[in-house]
């Protein structure tokens, strides 16, 4: 399928076109910016739910159970499942699909696996653009599952409308729960594997932590226990997510988050483009620096920026991203 | 030359439960810098073709030991073609007699690797084959 045919096919609901556009997003294809800008104005209809938590907490199993529940309610769901890229080989084993097998032949479900490709915040580089595409394609639910994360990977707030943090018993005592970062981004806590011993203690620790916090924020963060394997508590978990969604929608925080997300996105795109213009590739940068430059890093930095300023003042900036002719 | 990783779907069609080989190959391709989507056991041809479409992979690798390859492999090829995924490189491995392999290759399959194949041979073949093909 050539790139000119992609948009009409995408708008007509062709899953192959969706899939190919996701590939374009992921590899940063030259054709992508124009195609994306044509579709992006229609985003903002899906409920974008981020699912994050430590490795092995049961994120994929929870997502699969969530998909089943949404489908039983007659709603279509797209899942973006992210797994880590090896920093040594650049390869990745994407295994989240194994737990989604029952949904493969359901035309109301679309699952795409992505590797982080060097991104360190728990998402892949193009997660936001990819979830925008799934949203514009018409899925009312877009679920973004991050890699297993620790305490500092919280890029998910830059791609999702609301975030569910999935924890499981035995992952650490109350002090772990008090730490910053991951613990502060949750809209809903799900304590998965509630059939295992220790789930009550995790719930108690979390509620204590949240009680200290909510005096500050005046905000109630639900803590729900569930077992994704046998379905116990799953209904309550989904109810808590939906209630939280309605709260955010009504008090204006959803709109505020989406606005901020767009601003952050533009900033990221500017940073990427500037970096490319400034340096080209790492090899280009290396070649433009002599060993005497390297001896005085701040001076080298000023020298490069002066050279960049001189370049930009001489020639009017040419657009980095190709644009389609207006119709 | 492409700069993004090659994407491969590794799948086990049919009823046999031996996925050691599939896992070894999946790990070897990952170590070669490819992104490998592993789908697990007992996949139907329709599930494999649909997963290949959703993941937009360059390669589908099938592992089979049940002897049903002459039924399942052509069906997977037919469904991929029907999905507009006819340009995907289809490779396979397992217990496949030479005359069957020749027949499948004549139908448009890539190479089929029997017991004793080296994993780097498989990775080399995939890289070389994709290098030859037009970019998608």
> What residue ranges define each of the domains in chain A, with the CATH number in brackets?
43-252 (3.40.50.300), 260-314 (no CATH)
Tens digits of residue pLDDT in A147-191: 887 766 778 888 999 999 998 887 655 456 556 667 788 899 999
Residues of chain B with C-beta less than 8 angstroms from the C-beta of A86: 30-31
Cα A177 to chain centroid distance, Å, stands at 22
What integer pLDDT is reported at residue A184 of this predicted model? 80
B38 → closest Cβ in A19, A20, A98: A98
> CA separation (Å) from B92 to A84, B117, B119?
26, 11, 12
Most confident option among A88-102, B10-24, B93-107: B93-107
Mean pLDDT over all residues of chain B? 93
Instruction: Count how many pairs of residues, chain A against chain B, have C-beta atoms within 8 Å.
Output: 81
* Beta-carbon contacts of residue A100 (< 8 Å; ≥ 6 apart): A60, A63, A64, A67, A79, A81, A109, A111
CB B58 within 8 A of CB B88: yes
Confidence tier at A326 by pLDDT (50, 70, 90): very low
B56 → closest Cβ in A23, A90, A93: A23
Q: What percent of chain A has pLDDT over 70?
A: 90
Taking residues B116-128, report their average pLDDT.
Answer: 95
Checking if the pLDDT of A230 tops 80, the result is yes
Tokens of A52: 């994050």
Is B5 close to A1, i.e. CB distance below 8 A?
A: no
Burial class (CB in 10 A: 0-12, 13-18, 19+), A278: middle
Torsion from C-alpha of A244, A234, A211, A205, nearest 10 degrees = -150
Residue from A23, A106, A113, A139 to probe the interface with B (highest B Cβ count within 10 Å): A113
Element (H, E) at A79: strand A77-83
Taking residues A76-87, report their average pLDDT.
Answer: 93
Confidence tier at A56 by pLDDT (50, 70, 90): confident
Burial class (CB in 10 A: 0-12, 13-18, 19+), A248: middle
Q: How far apart, in whole angstroms, are the C-alpha atoms of residue A325 and residue A327? A: 6
Residues of chain A with C-beta less than 8 angstroms from the C-beta of B34: 91
CB A189 within 8 A of CB A214: no
Taking residues A65-80, report their average pLDDT.
Answer: 96
Is A113 close to B5, i.e. CB distance below 8 A?
A: no
Is B35 close to A111, i.e. CB distance below 8 A?
A: no
Min Cα–Cα distance to chain B from A24, Å: 10
Min Cα–Cα distance to chain A from B66, Å: 21
Confidence tier at B83 by pLDDT (50, 70, 90): very high
Checking if the pLDDT of A214 tops 70, the result is no
A92 → closest Cβ in B30, B47, B50: B30
What integer pLDDT is reported at residue B136 of this predicted model? 76
Checking if the pLDDT of A225 tops 90, the result is yes
Q: How far apart, in whole angstroms, are the C-alpha atoms of residue A88 and residue A36? A: 31
Helices (H), B32-97: 45-55, 69-82
A92 → closest Cβ in B35, B40, B84: B35
Confidence tier at A17 by pLDDT (50, 70, 90): very high
Instruction: Provide the total of helices (H) and of strands (E) in chain B, helices listed first.
Output: 5, 5
Residues of chain A with C-beta less than 8 angstroms from the C-beta of B38: 93-95, 97-98
Tens digits of residue pLDDT in A272-312: 888 888 877 667 788 888 888 889 999 999 988 898 888 87
Checking if the pLDDT of A74 tops 50, the result is yes
Confidence tier at B78 by pLDDT (50, 70, 90): very high
Strand partners, B60: B9, B90
Is A16 close to B35, i.e. CB distance below 8 A?
A: no
What integer pLDDT is reported at residue A327 of this predicted model? 42
């Amino acid at each position: 399928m050539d790139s000119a045919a992609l948009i009409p096919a995408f708008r007509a609901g062709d899953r192959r076109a969706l899939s190919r556009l996701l590939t374009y997003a992921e590899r940063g294809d030259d054709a992508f910016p124009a195609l994306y800008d044509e579709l992006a104005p229609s985003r903002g209809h899906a409920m974008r739910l981020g699912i994050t938590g430590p490795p092995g907490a049961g994120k994929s199993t929870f997502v699969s159970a969530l998909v089943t529940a949404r489908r039983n309610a007659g709603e279509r769901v797209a899942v973006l499942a992210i797994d880590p890229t090896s920093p040594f080989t650049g390869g990745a084993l994407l295994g989240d699909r194994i737990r989604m097998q029952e949904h493969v032949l359901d035309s109301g479900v679309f699952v795409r696996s992505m590797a982080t490709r060097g991104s360190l915040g728990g998402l892949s580089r193009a997660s936001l653009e990819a979830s925008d595409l799934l949203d514009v394609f018409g899925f009312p639910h877009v679920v973004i599952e991050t890699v297993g994360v620790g305490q500092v990977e919280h890029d998910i707030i830059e791609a999702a409308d609301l975030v569910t943090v999935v924890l499981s018993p035995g992952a650490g005592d109350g002090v772990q729960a008090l730490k910053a970062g991951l613990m502060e981004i949750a809209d809903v806590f799900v304590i998965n594997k509630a059939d295992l011993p220790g789930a009550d203690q995790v719930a108690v620790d979390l509620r204590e932590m949240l009680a200290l916090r909510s005096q500050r924020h005046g905000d109630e963060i639900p803590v729900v226990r569930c077992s994704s394997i046998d379905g116990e508590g799953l209904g309550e978990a989904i109810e808590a997510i939906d209630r939280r969604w309605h709260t955010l929608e009504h008090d204006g925080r959803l709109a505020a988050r989406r606005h901020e997300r767009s601003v952050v996105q533009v900033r990221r795109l500017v940073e990427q483009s500037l970096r490319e213009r400034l340096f080209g590739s790492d090899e280009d940068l290396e070649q433009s620096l002599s060993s005497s430059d390297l001896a005085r890093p701040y001076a080298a930095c000023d020298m490069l920026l002066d050279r960049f300023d001189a370049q930009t003042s001489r020639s009017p900036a040419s657009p980095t991203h190709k644009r389609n002719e207006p119709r | 030359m492409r700069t993004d990783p090659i994407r491969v779907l590794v799948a086990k069609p049919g009823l046999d439960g031996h996925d050691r080989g599939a896992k070894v190959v999946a790990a070897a391709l990952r170590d070669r810098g490819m992104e490998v989507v592993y789908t697990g056991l007992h996949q139907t041809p329709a599930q494999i073709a649909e997963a290949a479409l959703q993941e937009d992979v360059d390669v589908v690798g099938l592992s089979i030991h049940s002897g049903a390859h002459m039924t399942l492999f052509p069906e997977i090829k037919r469904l991929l073609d029907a999905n507009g995924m006819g340009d995907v490189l289809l490779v396979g491995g397992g217990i496949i007699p030479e005359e069957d392999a020749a027949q499948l290759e004549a139908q448009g399959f890539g190479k089929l690797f029997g017991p004793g194949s080296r994993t780097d041979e498989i990775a080399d073949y995939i890289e070389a084959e994709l290098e030859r093909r037009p970019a998608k």
